[in-house]
């Protein structure tokens, strides 16, 4: 557990949460990309919870996967 508290929309209360690294798949510009992302779940019941920093992290990983596949290596 991360030691931080977040509001779980399913439980309807403030709870701790767990973060895990998962393989994610998203579509960008009509193509599907796989990347390693982060997911947070409610520590009480395991419902997925929204963590803004994880969304930012996942978007960066998606865009990095796009750059690699499109051979746009300017970000390195």
In this prediction, residues 58-75 reach a mean pLDDT of 84
pLDDT exceeds cutoff 70 at 19: yes
Q: Residue 72: what pLDDT?
A: 72
Domains of the chain (ranges; CATH) run 5-70 (3.10.20)
In this prediction, residues 10-34 reach a mean pLDDT of 94
Q: Residue 74: what pLDDT?
A: 60
Q: What is the DSSP-derived secondary structure letter of residue 31?
A: E
For residue range 28-62, list pLDDT tens digits in order: 989 999 999 999 999 999 999 999 999 999 999 99
Q: Residue 15: what pLDDT?
A: 95
Comparing CA positions, the residue from 26, 35, 34, 3 lying closest to residue 16 is 3
Q: How many CA atoms lie within 13 A of 75 on its CB side?
A: 12
φ, ψ of residue 32 to 5 degrees: the values are -95, 135
């Amino acid at each position: 557990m991360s030691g931080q508290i977040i509001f779980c929309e399913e439980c309807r209360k403030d709870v701790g949460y767990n973060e895990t690294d998962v393989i994610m798949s998203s579509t960008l510009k009509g193509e599907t990309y796989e990347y390693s992302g982060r997911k947070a779940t409610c520590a009480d019941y395991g419902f997925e919870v929204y963590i803004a920093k994880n969304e930012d992290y996942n978007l960066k990983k998606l865009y990095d996967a796009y750059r690699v596949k499109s051979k746009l290596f300017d970000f390195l």
